[in-house]
Amino acid sequence: MSVAFDAVSAYDAAFSGLTTHVVDRVGGVAPFDVTSWSAEPDGADHELFIDPCDAPTIDVGCGPGRLVGALTARGVPAMGIDVSMEAVRQTRVRGAIALRRDVFAAIPGEGRWAFALLADGNLGIGGDPVRLLSRLADVLMPGGRVIAEVADDGAGLVRERRRLRVDGRLSAHFDWAVVGLDAIDEVAADAGMRVLTTSSTGGRHTATLERGRP
């Protein structure tokens, strides 16, 4: 199969409902779970991401907006960002605020967000979790917190290049990373953050990281 389109176009196609899989660096294939991300938040979503946020929250890689939509409905000031315009459109349909924005570009309200969410493996965005967390330190207010979903204990830190296979077509490669529970303390420290707590429910895990105070 030849590369037919760039990664952002692949994300747009995936969120529009086309059958999509993630292809890893050795050719392994896993489903791209758009159906779950498009559904209403489940109990784990509420416990791990929604309930802890009681102040301005930015959802990085918001996808179709199930988390930012729930936060908005609860009256918490919230905004989602995603590189996919289709994801942004669907988030707005939920009545939430969303922008098509790369996390490494300028973001409204920088330095004033209390929480940043990295759900569904989005700690892997860009393939360098230290760089991503360092960037979020600029986005958050002093003492602000990142709630990041992490992989199982023992997963370590893996950096790789991935592709999406959408309706039989392969996207261009993009950089991604996986961070396990056993690696998050070191990754956080390298980014100038510290892990406050870890939580697990329904087979999912998160780490809550605090931005260092000046």
Domains of the chain: 3-211 (3.40.50.150)
DSSP 12-40: HHHHTT--EEEE-TTS-EEE--HHHHHS-
Give 93-103 pLDDT, tens digit per residue: 999 999 999 99
Instruction: Give me the pLDDT at residue 53, please.
Output: 98
Which residues neighbour 27 within 8 Å (Cβ) at sequence distance 6 or greater? none
φ, ψ of residue 69 to 5 degrees: the values are: -65, -40
Residue 82 confidence class, pLDDT cut points 50, 70, 90: very high
Cα 16 versus chain centre, distance: 18
Dihedral sign, CA of 46, 29, 158, 128? negative
pLDDT of the residue at 3: 47
H helices of the chain, in order, are 7-15, 34-38, 43-45, 66-73, 85-93, 129-139, 184-190
Q: What is the pLDDT of residues 115-163, one digit of tens each?
A: 999 999 999 999 999 999 999 999 999 999 999 999 999 999 999 999 9
Task: Judge whether residue 34 has pLDDT over 60.
Answer: yes
At residue 128, the pLDDT reads: 98
Pull the structure tokens for residue 97: 């605020």
Strands 29-31 and 97-100: unpaired
Q: Label residue 181 by pLDDT band (50, 70, 90).
A: very high
Residue 214 has pLDDT above 80, yes or no: no
pTM of the model: 0.95
Alpha carbon distance 36, 42 (integer Å):
9
Asked if 52 contacts 147 with a C-beta cutoff of 8 angstroms, the reply is yes
pLDDT band at 4 (very low <50, low <70, confident <90, very high): low
Considering the chain, what is the average pLDDT of its residues?
A: 95
Percent of the chain with pLDDT over 90: 93
Q: What is the rounded distance in angstroms from the CA atom of residue 65 to the CA atom of residue 119?
A: 11
